[in-house]
Amino acid sequence: MVVLLGDKCAEYGGQVDVEAHIETCSGILWRELEHSGDEILQLVIQCAEELPHKSTLYATLVGLLNLEDEEFGRKVVDTSHAKLQDALDSENCNKIRILMRFITVLMCSNVIPPSSVIEVFETLLSSATTTVDEERGNLAWQARADFYIFCILGCLPWGGLELAERVPDDLDRVMTEIEAYLSIRKHIFEPAFLPFETPADDNKDGGQDFLEDLWERVKLLCEDGWKVDSVPRPHLAFESRLVTGKSYEFRPVTCPEQPDQPSPSSDVMIGRQRHEAELKYPQRIQRLHIFPVSRTEENMKPIDRFVVEEYLLDIMLYLNGCRKQCAAYMASLPVTFRYEYLMAETIFSQLLLLPNPPFKGCYYALVIIDLCKALPGAFPTVVAGAVRSLFDRVNDLDLECQARLILWLSQHLSNFQFIWQWEEWLHVLDLPRWSPQRVFVQEVLQREVRLSYWEKIMQSIQKASGLEELLPPKDGSCFKYADQKGDQSEGVEFSLSKELNNLVKDKKTSREILSWVEENIIAVHGHNVSIDVVVQTLLHIGSKSFSHLFTVLERYGNIISKLGSGQSNEILVIEETSRIFQNNTQMAAIAIDRMMVYRIVSNLSIVTWVFSPSNVEQFHTSDRPWEILRNALDKTYNRISDLRKGVISVEKSVQKAIEAKAKAQADLDSAEALLEAAESEELQGQMAVKLKRLKAAVDRTKQEESSEQESLEAKDALLSRALSENEVLFITLYRCFSDALIKHLSVDPTEKQEDVLGTDQREPMSIDSEEPSAMDADDDERRNQRFSKSNGLHSQAEQQWCRCTLGQVRALTRKYATEIWPHIDKIDAEVFTGDTHPSIVKAVYSALRRPV
């Protein structure tokens, strides 16, 4: 009953009277308080924390219970205080925000006096103002200060009316202090973290950041008398009773100490602190503005948009493990206006949030699917409109956001029989191969093939005749030693491949096969031919399915590993793998990924191969090389994360072993003292036996401690080695990016840190220079002209290649910033020297939120 409080009420899409429901629940709980008071207390607090869109209902419930049992009301206040203080100390953003809202609505139910709420507000305001003070503060931690102000402003739609009625002077003082804070804080504008390069014409924010936007909405709310239609106020029905209840002072809270400014102060040290602050206090939402404001904010006040977004984000956050219940709550918010467009925009804003969304993309896909089923008459049309709007602006969409959108759309369509109005996108066939819209459609279709099969996807696009040319080839394997019928042809290498195939069929051991390879291929035809034949043949055997591929690599991977020792040979192995699976990107990516897992190839070899000439030409026309590169970096990151977790686990085990040894030694010392004091022979005999047992225990705990210490040293060594390899990996990565880009960008020495480049030193492009057709979009042309003026590029294909490559520099830096910051000094010294192109430095620094 407590969990489902209000779910069947009219405000949440039901027909039950909310006041009657709260009254009934209150009566039942009151009768149980004497026997199960602690359990009820924990349950109510947990519901208020994890179902925050119903916080007003739970606050009213607490207010009614407080009338019957003052001890229960006091415990709720004390527990809320303890939880808020703990959340502040542990820097748990979501709990801080939710608990501050809860104490605000408790104030509305007369459980907490308004003066206590104002005191909490002023505590956070004081901390925030100190942080952004140039003399006393630490500007690197503005993210925390902004978050505190956001929490205060976020409480006012729920409690501003009561504060204005009961403590108007205090509320005015808080509003004045917030305005003063906003006047001294630094305005936030980070293009590298925006989903679009340019805002939509009808949805510009006027240069406001997220906090300034909320402040404007709250000011309008204040001018409107603090009336919010989207916030239920069930306590008003019980106001005459609640005012007779006792209020409990909410003890003062303390904010964490401000981190010291780095000494010596440098942009690197400040940047590291700012990155740490942004990780702990991330921005919650970055509005996409997919639809016109007239649709997303139809029939609602400005503050209602913020409130509905808070509802939706809280539901997705706390009900991520119950997706159907999540969709049900999202579809029945306590508002009187339509919000399907705002709901879709909010979900997509989370899906495309930079640098990272709160959850994996598949979660948002499931939520959208369930909402389409819950609201079949409205939401599918809205989602389709969102896709069309995003597709129209895909030229300006961040590359990482494009990749997420492609993955989501392919997964979404796979749940609806791949039905889509493909004929609307037929015009992409008239665009050049590098056009973002054409590449988008191509990648969606290729992802759909992975989720189904080629014939099914071919059937789904029958009405859009011509799009089949964007599908991947039907035959996924390109075995070098097979004729057109799939049978192996004649010739020396063909016969060697056939013989190797027979050895595998005969289940020869890897040792026997390696001996045969050394005698019959390496000794006669050389090392390169042996890699060619072995890799092609073994992967062809494993090309039937993923399980076949994994089995082949597990059994015979050591053969490839020995043939491919050394980076140059590893690159040959990767090249042959890519060649046999040139028509199947998924199989190529998985094969190379598994080779990295089995230590057949290294991440450095993969990075070097990705920047080979044949791959560089595909940077703007295919996601294939980028997918393989992302997989390698992800695998490296996950390996380091696992090692860090292992070190932490062993450190805990070492501490436990030390404590166990100390306890065993103390028991032994106590037993020895008792033995010395023993007078009777019987007691001495008993103590001697006990002493022997305790000595054995001490020896055992010493051995355990020694073993754990050795394990810790080993894991520390592995982690140190992995971090050193990681440093080399990122240096290599940025060096490869720089080498690839510098060939196509030239710098005018008179423009040191500007993106204005001369054209006289520019080398000719080797990539596809196909010009766009007359149907190419006007915004494409304007964007290309702007980019070409700043970088001295001529053909539009060249411009798009540079834009894609720089976009990937920014995306990868943004994603792995936590791993890059510890090595930034070395990267600066070895890569970002005076010869590095300013555009590359700008892309990296902007993704690290570091001043150029």
Is residue 11 predicted with pLDDT exceeding 50?
yes
Q: Rounded to the nearest 10 degrees, what angle do helices 70-90 and 93-108 cross at?
A: 150
Confidence class for position 719, pLDDT limits 50, 70, 90: very high
Any domain includes 727: no
Least confident of 59-68, 140-149, 544-553, 660-669: 660-669
Whether residue 86 is found in the same domain as residue 191: yes
Instruction: Tell me the pLDDT band of 772, cut-offs 50, 70 and 90.
Output: very low
Q: How confident is the model at residue 50 (pLDDT cuts 50, 70, 90)?
A: very high
Q: Of 160-174, 346-360, 831-845, which range is least confident?
A: 831-845
Q: Which amino acid is at 329?
A: Y
Query: Are the CB atoms for 26 and 65 separated by under 8 Å?
Result: yes
Same domain, residue pair 618 and 512: yes
Q: Give me the pLDDT at residue 744, please.
A: 80
Q: Which helix (H) or strand (E) holds 496?
A: helix 492-505
Q: Residue 776 above 50 pLDDT? A: no
Residue 768 predicted with pLDDT over 70: no
User: In 3D, which of 469, 427, 423 has the Cα closest to residue 445?
Assistant: 469
What is the CATH number for 530? Answer: 1.25.40.180
Are 441 and 583 part of one and the same domain? Answer: no
Looking at the fold, whether 583 and 518 belong to one and the same domain comes out as: yes
Q: What is the mean pLDDT of residues 23-51?
A: 92
Q: Could you tell me the CA-to-CA distances from 648 to 90, 645, 652, 710 in Å, in that order?
A: 18, 5, 6, 14
**pLDDT of amino acid 9:** 74
* Domains: count for the chain: 3
pLDDT of residue 204: 47
Residue 582 counted as domain residue:
yes
Cα 365 to Cα 367: distance, rounded to the nearest angstrom: 5
CA distances for 147 relative to 141, 154, 613, angstroms: 10, 10, 46
Q: What band does 20 get if pLDDT is binned at 50, 70 and 90?
A: confident
Contact 437, 800 (CB under 8 A): no
Q: Which stretches of 538-666 are assigned E, i.e. beta strand?
A: none
Whole-angstrom distance, CA of residue 233 vs CA of residue 704: 60
Residues 194 and 300 in one domain: no
What is the structure's pLDDT at 483? 62
Strands (E), 399-525: none
Percent of the chain with pLDDT over 90: 71
Q: Are 229 and 47 in contact (CB under 8 A)?
A: no
Task: Please identify, among 635, 656, 678, the residue that sits at the C-terminal boundary of a domain.
Answer: 635
- Give the range among 550-564, 671-685, 771-785, 793-807 with minimum mean pLDDT: 771-785
User: If DSSP codes are grouped into helix, strand and coil, which group holds residue 16?
Assistant: strand
Instruction: Note the pLDDT of residue 316.
Output: 96
What angle do the packed helices 361-374 and 323-330 form, to 10 degrees? 60
User: Measured in whole angstroms, how far is the alpha carbon of residue 652 from the centre of its chain?
Assistant: 28
pLDDT of residue 18: 83
Higher per-residue confidence, 675 vs 576: 576
Q: How far apart are CA 111 and CA 81, in angstroms?
A: 13
The answer, as to whether pTM is greater than 0.75, is yes
Cα 554 from Cα 543, distance rounded (Å): 14
321 and 367, same structural domain?
Answer: yes
**Residue 755 pLDDT:** 40
SS (H, E, C) 786-836: HHHHHHCCCCHHHHHHHHHHHHHHHHHHHHCHHHHHHHHHHHHHHCCCCCC
* Number of neighbouring beta carbons within 10 Å of residue 60: 31
> What's at 71, amino acid-wise?
E
Which structure tokens are listed for 327?
């969709």
Helix (H, G, I), strand (E, B) or coil at 432: coil
| Same domain membership, residue 529 and residue 410 | no
Residues contacting residue 681 through CB under 8 Å, at least 6 positions apart: none
Two tokens at 227? 């009336």
- pLDDT: is 275 or 201 the higher one? 275
CA angle (580, 738, 826) in 5-degree steps: 110
Banded pLDDT at 777 (limits 50, 70, 90): very low
End-to-end CA distance of the chain: 57
* pLDDT above 90: residue 1: no
Residue 571 has a pLDDT of 95
Q: What is the pLDDT of residues 488-522, one digit of tens each?
A: 455 788 889 999 999 999 989 999 999 999 998 88
544, 508 contact by CB (below 8 A): no
**Cα 540 from Cα 533, distance rounded (Å):** 10
Contact 96, 88 (CB under 8 A): yes
**Each residue of 776-791: b (16+ CB within 10 Å) or e?**
bbeebeebbeebbeeb
Q: What pLDDT score does 746 carry?
A: 59
Q: Which of 762, 726, 542 is nearest to 637 (CA)?
A: 726
Least confident of 30-34, 581-585, 763-767: 763-767
Last-in-domain residue among 603, 620, 635: 635
- Per-residue pLDDT at 246: 93
Q: Are residues 147 and 31 in the same domain?
A: yes
Whether 819 maps to a domain, the answer reads no
pLDDT of residue 201: 54
Residues 543 and 523: their CA atoms lie apart, in Å, by 28
Task: Report the pLDDT value the prediction gives residue 326, as an integer from 0 to 100.
Answer: 94
What would the pLDDT profile of 551-607 be if each residue is shown by its tens digit?
999 999 999 999 988 999 999 999 999 999 999 999 999 999 999 999 999 999 999
Q: Which of 193, 223, 248 is a domain's end point?
A: 248
Rounded to 5 degrees, φ, ψ at 9 are: -85, 165
Q: So what's the pLDDT on residue 791?
A: 52
Domain coverage including residue 461: 293-465
Q: Which two tokens stand for residue 194?
A: 């925006």
**Neighbour-count burial of 364, counting CB atoms closer than 10 A to its CB (0-12 exposed, 13-18 middle, 19+ buried):** buried
Using DSSP's 3-state secondary structure scheme, residue 9 falls into strand
Q: Based on the domain organization, do 244 and 95 belong to the same domain?
A: yes
Burial 621-660 (b: 16+ CB within 10 A, else e): bbbbbbbbbbbbbeebeebbeebeebbeebeebbeebeeb
* Mean pLDDT, residues 667-695: 77
Q: Is 311 found in the same domain as 390?
A: yes
Residues 351 and 313 in one domain: yes
The percent of residues in the chain predicted with pLDDT above 70, rounded, is 91
Instruction: Say if residue 519 is in the same domain as residue 447.
Output: no
Which pLDDT value is given to residue 398? 95
Residue 778 has a pLDDT of 53
